[in-house]
Amino acid sequence: MPALVCTAKTCIYNKNELCSKGDIKVEGNTARTKDETCCSSFQERAGESMSNSCADGSGCTNISVSCSACECKYNEEMQCHAGSIDISGSKACCCEDTCCSTFSCH
Ligand code: SF4
C-alpha cells in the first residue's frame, strides 16, 4: 500500500493532507500524462459533514490504491505499487480536477 499525500482539501475524506477513506480508486485507463489521471474517490465537501473510515478518526498514511492507469510504471494488475504517491487537487470541485502527480509513463 503506497503512502499517500493528497492536496485536495476540498474532499470530504481529506484530513490534513492525508486520506481518511481507507482505499481509493485512481482512473486513467488511456492516460499518458499525469493530468489525464484523476482520483475517482474524490467527493466535494459540503458544509462540515465528514466521513471517516479510519479507526482513530484521522487520515491514514498508507492506503490501498486501485488504479486503471495501466500505462503507469507503478501499476501492477490494476493496483498501485509505488512506495508513495501524491494526489493533487488543491482547488478541486470534482474528480476531474484531481490527478496523480506520481504517474510515470512506462
Ligand atoms: S502512481 Fe501510477 S499506479 Fe499509482 S495511483 Fe498514480 S497513476 Fe496509478
| pLDDT single digits (tens) 35-87 | 999 999 999 998 655 555 554 557 788 999 999 999 999 999 999 999 999 99
The residue-averaged pLDDT of 18-43 equals: 97
Helix (H, G, I), strand (E, B) or coil at 4: strand
CA dist 42 to 11, 33, 50, 97, Å? 6, 19, 13, 9
- For ligand 1, whether the C-beta of 69 sits within 6 Å is yes
Neighbouring residues of 74: CB distance < 8 A, sequence distance ≥ 6: 2, 67, 80, 81, 82, 85, 102, 104
C-alpha to C-alpha distance for 52 and 44, rounded to whole angstroms? 14
Q: How far is the CA of 30 from the centre of ligand 1 (A)?
A: 13
pTM of the model: 0.89
- What is the predicted pLDDT for the residue at 52? 52
Q: What is the pLDDT of residue 47?
A: 66
Ligand 1 centroid–CA 76 distance in Å is 10
Give 39's Cβ-side CA count (13 Å radius): 36
Q: Which three cell numbers stand for residue 33?
A: 500524462
Give the domain ranges of the chain: 3-100
d(CA 75, CA 1): 12
Q: Mean of the per-residue pLDDT values for the chain?
A: 92
